[in-house]
Amino acid sequence: MSEVRRTRAQQAKDKKSTFGTDVDLLKYQLLSDDKTDPLGLDGLTHEDRAKIIQSGIDLDDQDRAGTFFQTDHRIVHCAVKQPGLEVLPMAQALKEHAWLEELYWQAVPVDSDKYTAQAELHFQNGYFIRALKGQRVTTPIQACLYMKHDNTAQNVHNLIVAEEGSELNIITGCATAPSLQSGIHIGISEFYVKRGAKLTFTMIHDWAEEVMVRPRSGIVVEEDGLFLSNYVSLKPVRSLQMYPTTRLIGPGAVARFHSILLAPPGCELDTGARVVLEASNTRAEIISRTITTGGVIKARGHLVGLKPNVKAHLECHGLILTEEGIIHAIPELEAHRSGAEMSHEAAVGKIAEEEIEYLMARGLSEEEATATIVRGFLNVQIEGLPPELQAKVDRAIEESEKSML
């Protein structure tokens, strides 16, 4: 099976992605060695630690059910503190669980494009997280993918399984070392939410100005399963393109995507989510709040209703804070059956002067009024998000406020 996969990857290694700027992968160095022992957290510099903490990771492992930490291609730290939960480097998980072959590359086709191909052909680990049947792991598990060597490619493959009736809360922080200027991060993430399980995935990105990012994610949700994704990217990045596809395959399955994006000058964000409602009584929601201070944002969304009695809503709201900058909202609704209830709402523009002046009439200066409106705009209260993770999202927003205004 792995031979077939490799052949398919080989065939796709020059295949351009449908969306986003094409990246010349040959420009980036591929690090590799045979060492498998973890580097340990002690080797992190003071600067590394500060950067990692910013992306929501707690380096003391406190109040965490598990931790996975990888720098470039090497595992730094991998620990699990709760029974019923597995956190493993991907390579090790593939060795220990032969059954993983049945899930590996099933939610994301290996030959999707040159990035998925590179992740297979130059595999550099990643994480495997799994909650066993019926285990409710409410304490968050944290995963950090850190890039330290300049001008390199990081190719990781993550796989997350929430077994029947289980619950998982994962927070991932992806960041680059302060000294790193350029690089590419390719991250394959496959999520399997089994019957009645709940999986919350919160991702905070903190890249560098010349970094290219190409996550490729696929999610499969079974009957009565719930997948909740929160994505926050408020720091500069050269180009980020992702368009994860979720399949709701069992009746009653639910998926919700919330993203908060900021594009400073020189930054190109092409992101969105696609949800295919393949079973009856499934529900999906895609909500994005985007702000440009000079960069380009494409906010996509695609909802596909294949069965009657499905309900789906798409919401793209964009704010343009400077004269430069583009926000392009591309919402798509596709209903194949009558009785599919699907809607979208998109609004892109500047802050209404009327709103600013209204708050000024209450005593706020123009800057304070603008900040209040921007804060409100980004204030997406995410239903079902554990308070601790909501606090992380709120803090990321707070920290970036100054750079926005």
Partner 1 sequence: MLEINDLWVDVNGKEVLKGVNLTIPSGETHILFGKNGSGKSSLLMTIMGFRRYRVRQGRISFKGVDITKLPIHERAKMGIGLAFQRPPSIRGVKTRDVFNVCNINSVSCDELADKFNFSGLLERELNVGFSGGEMKKSELLQLLLQDPELVMLDEPESGVDLENLQILGKAINKLLEKYLWRKRAKSGLVISHLGFILNYIEADSGYVLLDGRIHCHGNPRELFKGIQRHGYRECIECQR
Q: Is 355 in the site for partner 1 (CB under 8 A)?
A: yes
Q: Is 387 in the site for partner 1 (CB under 8 A)?
A: no
Q: Is 323 in the site for partner 1 (CB under 8 A)?
A: no
- Residue among 375, 386, 390, 401 that touches partner 1 (CB under 8 A): 375
Smallest separation (angstroms) from partner 1 to the CB of 358: 5
Q: Is 357 in the site for partner 1 (CB under 8 A)?
A: yes
> Helix, strand or coil for residue 111?
coil
Rounded Cα distance, 374 and 291, in Å: 9
Segment near partner 1 (CB under 8 A); pick from 120-128, 168-176, 240-248, 359-367: 359-367
Q: Quick one: which of 320, 264, 325, 269 has its CA closest to 298?
A: 269
Q: How far apart are the first and last CA of the chain?
A: 53
Strand segments (E) across 72-120: 74-80, 85-89
- Residue among 378, 385, 389, 396 that touches partner 1 (CB under 8 A): 378
Strand segments (E) across 7-97: 29-30, 66-71, 74-80, 85-89
Fill in the per-residue mask, 236 to 275: x = in contact with partner 1 (CB under 8 A), - = not in contact: ----------------------------------------
Beta bridge partners of 298: 270, 328
Rounded Cα distance, 402 and 142, in Å: 27
Instruction: Write phi, then psi, for 56 (nearest 5 degrees).
Output: 95, 5
Rounded Cα distance, 65 and 324, in Å: 44
Q: Is 398 in the site for partner 1 (CB under 8 A)?
A: no
- Residue among 63, 341, 366, 398 that touches partner 1 (CB under 8 A): 366
Smallest separation (angstroms) from partner 1 to the CB of 21: 31
Rounded Cα distance, 233 and 269, in Å: 9
> Helix, strand or coil for residue 393?
helix
Q: Which two tokens stand for residue 364?
A: 């706020």
Q: Given the complex with partner 1, which of 220 and 320 has the nearer CB atom?
A: 320
Q: Given the complex with partner 1, which of 18 and 381 has the nearer CB atom?
A: 381
Q: Is 346 in the site for partner 1 (CB under 8 A)?
A: no
Instruction: Show contacts with partner 1 in window 183-242 (CB under 8 A).
Output: none
Q: Is 354 in the site for partner 1 (CB under 8 A)?
A: yes
DSSP 262-321: EE-TT-EEEEEEEEEE-STT-EEEEEEEEEESSSEEEEEEEEEE-SSS-EEEEEEEEEE-
- Residue among 11, 379, 399, 403 that touches partner 1 (CB under 8 A): 379
The alpha carbons of the chain give a radius of gyration, in whole angstroms, of 21
Q: Is 383 in the site for partner 1 (CB under 8 A)?
A: no
Q: Is 394 in the site for partner 1 (CB under 8 A)?
A: no
Going by C-beta distance under 8 Å and a sequence separation of 6 or more, which residues neighbour residue 354? none
Instruction: Show contacts with partner 1 in window 133-152 (CB under 8 A).
Output: none
Q: Given the complex with partner 1, which of 50 and 352 has the nearer CB atom?
A: 352
Smallest separation (angstroms) from partner 1 to the CB of 204: 20
Q: Is 321 in the site for partner 1 (CB under 8 A)?
A: no
Q: Is 360 in the site for partner 1 (CB under 8 A)?
A: yes
Q: Is 344 in the site for partner 1 (CB under 8 A)?
A: no
Q: Given the complex with partner 1, which of 83 and 363 has the nearer CB atom?
A: 363
Q: Is 4 in the site for partner 1 (CB under 8 A)?
A: no
Q: Is 364 in the site for partner 1 (CB under 8 A)?
A: yes
- Residue among 4, 60, 323, 362 that touches partner 1 (CB under 8 A): 362
Number of residues that bind partner 1 (CB under 8 A): 24
Residue 104, number of CB atoms within 10 A of its CB: 23
Q: Given the complex with partner 1, which of 199 and 385 has the nearer CB atom?
A: 385
Smallest separation (angstroms) from partner 1 to the CB of 213: 27
Task: Give the orientation angle of helix 353-360 with respect to helix 366-378, to 10 degrees.
Answer: 120
Going by C-beta distance under 8 Å and a sequence separation of 6 or more, which residues neighbour residue 130? 85, 86, 160, 161, 162, 163
List residues near partner 1 by CB under 8 A: 317, 352-355, 357-366, 369, 372-373, 375-380
